[in-house]
Structure formats: C-alpha cells, structure tokens
Amino acid sequence: MAKVKTAFFCRNCGAKSPKWVGKCSSCGEWDTYDEEILESKPSGNKGAYIKTNTASKPKPIHEVVANNDQRIRINDRELSRVLGGGIVPGSLVLFGGEPGIGKSTLMLQLALQESHLKILYV
C-alpha cells in the first residue's frame, strides 16, 4: 500500500514546500501555494514520491449534491431534521459543544427512546 504524503507547490513558479507558507520564497508572490497529495512509488524506493492532482478541494454549498440514503427514523423531530431526516445506517455521529449544554442528556434520551436500536455511547 502506498504511503500518502502531502506537499505544497507554488502555482506561479512551481517551488515546493513541506508546509503552507504565505509568501513564496522563490518568486516572492503571496498566497500561491496549493496543497497536493504525493504518494510513494510502489518500487519500494524510500524517499521517492510522485506528484498527483487528487487532493480534495472544498465545494461551494450550491454544488453539494444531497443523496437520498436510507435513514433510520428517530422520534425526536428536531434532531431528525438536523441529521437530514434521521441517522444513516453504519454512520458515526459526533456531537460536540461546550461543557454543560446537554450533549449527554440528549444522547441518553435518544438511547432510551430508540431502545430497538443498538447504540454505543462513549
């Protein structure tokens, strides 16, 4: 399996940097570094990487396509709405927030309401 590594390349002059920097040290242009994925060659040559253009880029919200995945319906209407109509089977849902806002209470209520489901609360 190929080891994945990323690097940053200046789109103006092609200079390479292991991390993002604001100003290119070669050509002096600002904000020209793009992250690209590098993967090792399968020949086993240590330190040899090839440049690929498969880095994922963020999409504007209007370009995101909503899938009509099967979802597990839950009794809490507001939580179901926030989750896009229910829980996708086999998915992981992470609830985060400030201490004391009710994450544990909400999850324990959900577990009690949906007793027919296997729920792991960590």
Task: Give the pLDDT confidence of 15-42 residue by residue, as tens digits.
Answer: 888 888 888 888 888 888 888 887 655 5
- Provide, for the chain, the percentages of residues in helix, strand and coil under a 3-state DSSP scheme, each rounded to the nearest 5: 15, 20, 65
pTM: 0.42
**Token digits for 5?**
């590594």
To the nearest whole number, what is the mean pLDDT of the chain? 80
Tell me which long-range contacts 74-82 makes (C-beta under 8 A, separation of at least 24): 74/110, 74/113, 74/114, 75/113, 75/114, 76/109, 76/110, 76/113, 79/106, 79/110
- Of residues 77 and 119, which shows the higher confidence score? 77
- Of residues 9 and 3, which shows the higher confidence score? 9
d(CA 32, CA 9): 8
**Token digits for 34?**
């793009």
Report DSSP state, residue 66. P
Instruction: Region of 48 please: left (phi>0), alpha (psi -120 to 50) or beta.
Output: beta
Task: Give the pLDDT confidence of 79-106 residue by residue, as tens digits.
Answer: 888 888 888 888 888 888 899 999 999 9
